Amino acid sequence: MIPISRGTSAEPVVWVVTGYRAGERVQIMALAEALGWPYQVKDLDYRPVASTLSLFRTRTRLGINRTGSAKLKPPWPDLVISAGMRNEPVCRWIRAQSGGRTRIVHIGRPWVSLEHLDLVITTPQYRLAERANVLQNSLTLHGVTPERLQAEADRWAPRFAGLPRPWTAVIVGGNSGPYTLGRKAARRLADGAGEFAAAHGGSLLVTTSARTAPAALQELTRRIQVPVHLYHWQQNDLDNPYYGYLALADEFIVTADSISMLSEACATGKPVHMFDLGTGRLAMRPQAEAGANDLRLSGLLYRGLMRWGHQRLSRDISLVHERLRSEGRANWLGEATATGAVSQLQDIDRAVARVKALFDDAG
């Protein structure tokens, strides 16, 4: 490993090569903030050829539109934090320009060989082999902090004051890999969440997401019979109550297709119940009761890829579900709470420690 030389500066120079997908961007920024080091954000605008270049596992910036992207020029950083296949060639190009000095921290699933990255912060669904430069967290990184939750609680508590407590937040995702959230799953979710709230004499705080299909939203709206505050997700909406839900809900029901939403709910330290999008053989968990399932061709093809294709081409989020249950962070809706011990270190704390260790080792 080429040593770091920072002159008189006690802190590394950090570049954040932001994700081109919202979930990746959230994780990248969460780690950058948690490190506590100054950083520069490098937003990149990619050309159509970027995905093809990524497949060749090269190191280049040919895939970016330079007129629409942040400037990449000296002084070169000590650390680059990034995620996503299209960002990998650019991050490796940056390290080459630095003479091999720049450390690369990649979040999520890497496509390049692991020896080209200094640290990979990932989660179980990508099924990466155990290596010295791989950190296997239970959940994704996120921007849920006590300060943000308090601010959102102060903002939203008056708006929910008319709803009977306790409040159960229902966080709704959508189609993901082999799993489908259509009318049938939405009907089961509405009924199950409604029964849960009625049994406790409370209300539901329901939010959809960018992936929620209109048919699922319609079914939820029609089917829920208990007191409810229902938010229909809209892009760039400054009045989105999502963090208010996280701050104020007493318990959570989260559709188990979204690891990021599960991560954010678990970060509150409140009870989290996972909702299974499927039943019987199409369930997310083993030995689930049979029932009506939503079907889509791409979901069935993905199941075939998981079974017969190379593991690098798919992900298995059931591995995250199993980890959450074993650690006592979540249970399936309708079952007894899991009793596994929760790690004393949060995922973000482990990630920060591993990143800083790269520079401790550098001397």
What is the rounded average pLDDT of the residues 36-58? Answer: 77
pLDDT at 21: 76
pLDDT at 227: 97
Per residue in 102-153, pLDDT tens? 999 999 888 888 889 999 999 888 888 889 999 999 889 998 989 999 999 9
Q: Count the alpha carbons within 13 Å of 214 in the hemisphere toward its beta carbon.
A: 0
CB 28 within 8 A of CB 44: no
d(CA 155, CA 165): 18
Burial of 204 (0-12, 13-18, 19+ CB in 10 A): buried
CB 345 within 8 A of CB 204: no
How would residue 53 be classed by pLDDT, with cut points 50, 70 and 90? low
Percent of the chain topping pLDDT 70: 90
Which amino acid is residue 87, in one-letter code?
N
Choice between 158 and 125, residue whose per-residue pLDDT is larger: 158
What is the rounded average pLDDT of the residues 90-113? Answer: 93
How would residue 308 be classed by pLDDT, with cut points 50, 70 and 90? confident
d(CA 347, CA 112): 24
What is the rounded average pLDDT of the residues 337-353? Answer: 69
Does the pLDDT value for residue 7 go beyond 70?
Answer: no
Does the pLDDT value for residue 56 go beyond 70?
Answer: no
pLDDT at 341: 45
Does the pLDDT value for residue 162 go beyond 60?
Answer: yes
How would residue 57 be classed by pLDDT, with cut points 50, 70 and 90? low
- Most confident of the ranges 38-42, 60-64, 286-290, 340-344: 38-42
Question: Which residues lie across from 42 on neighbouring strands?
Answer: 17
> Strand, helix or coil at 326?
helix
Choice between 19 and 191, residue whose per-residue pLDDT is larger: 191
Sign of CA dihedral 127, 133, 137, 141: negative
pLDDT at 300: 81
Q: ∠ CA 235-25-313 to the nearest 5 degrees?
A: 105
How would residue 22 be classed by pLDDT, with cut points 50, 70 and 90? confident
pLDDT at 196: 96
Does the pLDDT value for residue 344 go beyond 50?
Answer: no
pLDDT at 110: 87
CA torsion angle 164 168 174 180 (round to 10): -110
d(CA 358, CA 113): 19
CB 12 within 8 A of CB 6: yes
How would residue 339 be classed by pLDDT, with cut points 50, 70 and 90? very low
Whose CA is closest to 79, among 117, 133, 130? 117
